[in-house]
Amino acid sequence: MSTNEGIAVDTAPADEDAPESGPTFADLGIDDRVLAAIADVGYESPSPIQAATIPPLLSGADVVGLAQTGTGKTAAFAIPILMNLDTSQKKPSALVLAPTRELAIQVAEAFGKYSSHIPGLHVLPIYGGQSYGVQLSGLRRGAHVVVGTPGRVIDHLEKGTLDLSELKYLVLDEADEMLKMGFQEDVERILRDTPDDKQVALFSATMPGAIRKISKQYLNDPIEITVKSKSQTATNITQRYVQVSHHRKLDALTRVLEVEDFEAMIIFVRTKQATEELAEKLRSRGFSAAAINGDIAQNQRERTIGQLKSGALDILVATDVAARGLDVDRISHVVNYDIPHDTESYVHRIGRTGRAGRSGQALLFVAPRERHLLKSIERATRHPLIEMQLPSVEDVNATRASKFGDSITENLASDNIALFRKLIEDYEAEHNTPLADIAAALAVGGYDGDNFFMSAEPEPAPRRERDRDRDRDRDRDRDRAPRRYDDEGDRGRSFSRAADGQELATYRISVGKRHRVVPGAIVGAIANEGGLRRSDFGHISIRPDYSLVELPANLSNETLEALRRTRISGVLIQLQPDSGPPSQRLASRAPRREPGQGRRPERRQPRS
Ligand code: AMP
């Protein structure tokens, strides 16, 4: 196969403040069925990676995309694949390889969303840790798109239960992560053993030598797409960020709205639906808010912006498209409620404040998993954002009390004060009631006393949202998990708790230096087959004939059984709780339990 240097696509607009005029989804040549699905999920316009990647993929070219999670890369590869699938074909036409089962599930769900108007299309996630039965029946029924982790895909290939002889599209998602997890051999094998004329798309956040080599060796003249960010932000805008998980965003926004002194505010969200939903939630909390998005008729949009200009409206909830070119001097604050996909959008968004020589405030909500997007914004704008602490319940309540006082002061200047003073004096005389009691009774009529002060604990998120958030946070931990490896067992530095604080125990596996194992291969195999996350791993020590691995102490019997049967470099790892002499064990700083000893320790250790 021939290779070339590829083409770098620069999507940065020349003039940052000019209204962006990027392509629409229809401009990219997307067919009606997929356009309808995109409209259902509420995306207004393609993200830069989508605008740059979809046309070459539709033309049949191989693509290497430098893109991270959060940029919209899943739709960038899923949309062209979905448009060209032949649903009468029984064998899989598309295979997406993903490093973890969470990502595999997420990508399969995304395919499901974007194909909601394509009847009869089947997408199947296959990953380690799930029983083969479900996957086998899915494969037998016929899946057009298979999304899998490399280890499990290889297993199915070896068992003869997955037939890739008709494969037309292969996507390597988060390729650098797959390599870090020790899947290089598996990935290369899949690239080699699938039809030569397949189209390949490789996405990676970084481009280490090994990925470049894979791309040279297995891709055909790939077009390389890098979303470059050349952006500058104005110095009269103070830029801050708040770290807040997804389910707390509304609470966080409400606190900001209560405590920050703002004149007018524009709040950016990603989808049209989100503009309407958030504006409605704010209105029901007593704020003057309206939504604008690409679906709103021009005259309505102009009316709303007119209200914002005149002060009849204070808060606008908008998508990027709807806010293009918006120029309203009163906007003192921009809130990025949903973090933008790319730096150009960020620069354009925050440029809606600080107009006409005024100063402006920009605030960015960053969920734990989105920190890399914050970092790329800071890198591209060469401007570090200041971390802001969310206003506390006390701050909110102090503001409420002081606003209550302000309203008294304001009303004392009213023309009607004489009228009401007379009525109150009459009441006082007749009922012999102290004036403070009468004033308080009047306030009861005007305010909701039960909810006047914010209670200490915010409302818990609905369960499903909490679970989603916990998953996102766990993924964050996975990304940040402190992992240290050694070759000879540096006993003084071992871990006894995983990144998320869970208790770890030491397990022994029957592969070591002699088998040329590397930590990445151990993490990859165990995570894949045991359904574990990287944050579940503690210390790994590779000895000449075996290795010691710290894993959660409460692994279920089912997981233990799956891990006993797992192979690394063809060798059965026979994972078992380590019972070697103390000198062979990984040292521990905290008391530990025996592995597999139930879910909860009797007494919880304080988290460090
Ligand atoms: P990804 O990088 O593929 O994980 O996507 C990150 C998030 O962006 C997901 O929540 C997608 O649903 C969302 N998303 C993808 N494309 C768009 C788009 N064009 N407009 C708005 N949101 C999008």
Convert the pLDDT of each residue in 56-103 to its tens digit: 999 999 999 998 777 889 999 999 999 999 999 989 999 999 998 888
Q: Whose CA is nearest to atom 5 of ligand 1?
A: 72
* pLDDT digit string, tens, across residues 179-233: 988 899 999 999 999 999 999 999 998 888 899 999 999 999 999 998 754 455 6
Q: How far is the CA of 12 from the centre of ligand 1 (A)?
A: 19
Average of pLDDT values for 381-407? 89
Position with higher pLDDT, 587 vs 126: 126
> In whole angstroms, what is the distance from residue 581 CA to residue 180 CA?
32
Mutate to test the pocket of ligand 1, among 28, 34, 40, 43 (most ligand atoms within 8 A of CB): 43
Mutate to test the pocket of ligand 1, among 47, 295, 373 (most ligand atoms within 8 A of CB): 47
Q: How far is the CA of 434 from the centre of ligand 1 (A)?
A: 60
Q: How far is the CA of 40 from the centre of ligand 1 (A)?
A: 13
Position with higher pLDDT, 12 vs 551: 551
**The pLDDT value given to residue 529:** 82
The answer, yes or no, to whether residue 445 has pLDDT greater than 70, is yes
Average of pLDDT values for 340-349? 88
Q: How far is the CA of 273 from the centre of ligand 1 (A)?
A: 14
Average of pLDDT values for 468-472? 46
**The pLDDT value given to residue 500:** 58
Cβ of 275 below 6 Å from ligand 1:
no
Q: How far is the CA of 46 from the centre of ligand 1 (A)?
A: 9
Position with higher pLDDT, 234 vs 345: 345
Residues 6+ apart with CB under 8 A from 547: 508, 509, 511, 512, 517, 522, 540, 541
Dump the DSSP string for 381-414.
HT-PPEE-PPPPHHHHHHHHHHHHHHHHHHHHTS
**The pLDDT value given to residue 539:** 83
**The pLDDT value given to residue 520:** 81
Q: How far is the CA of 341 from the centre of ligand 1 (A)?
A: 8
Number of helices and strands in the chain (H, E): 20, 21
- In degrees and rounded to multiples of 5, residue 56 shows phi and psi of -65, -35
Cβ of 46 below 6 Å from ligand 1:
yes
Cβ of 68 below 6 Å from ligand 1:
no
Q: Which pairs count as long-range contacts for 600-605, CB under 8 Å and 24+ apart, including other chains?
A: 600/554, 601/503, 601/553, 605/497, 605/503
The answer, yes or no, to whether residue 468 has pLDDT greater than 70, is no
* pLDDT digit string, tens, across residues 288-341: 999 999 888 888 988 999 999 999 999 999 998 888 878 898 999 999 999 998
Cβ of 70 below 6 Å from ligand 1:
yes
Q: How high is the mean pLDDT of the chain?
A: 82
Position with higher pLDDT, 226 vs 442: 442
Q: How far is the CA of 374 from the centre of ligand 1 (A)?
A: 16
Dump the DSSP string for 356-384.
TT--EEEEEEE-GGGHHHHHHHHHHHT-P
> In whole angstroms, what is the distance from residue 115 CA to residue 222 CA?
26
Q: Whose CA is nearest to atom 16 of ligand 1?
A: 72
Half-sphere exposure (Cβ direction) of 66: Cα atoms closer than 13 Å: 18
Cβ of 69 below 6 Å from ligand 1:
yes
Q: How far is the CA of 396 from the centre of ligand 1 (A)?
A: 33
Nearest to 600 by CA among 493, 502, 523, 460: 502
For 599, the token pair is: 């879910």
> In whole angstroms, what is the distance from residue 365 CA to residue 242 CA?
5
pLDDT band with cut points at 50, 70 and 90 for residue 131: confident
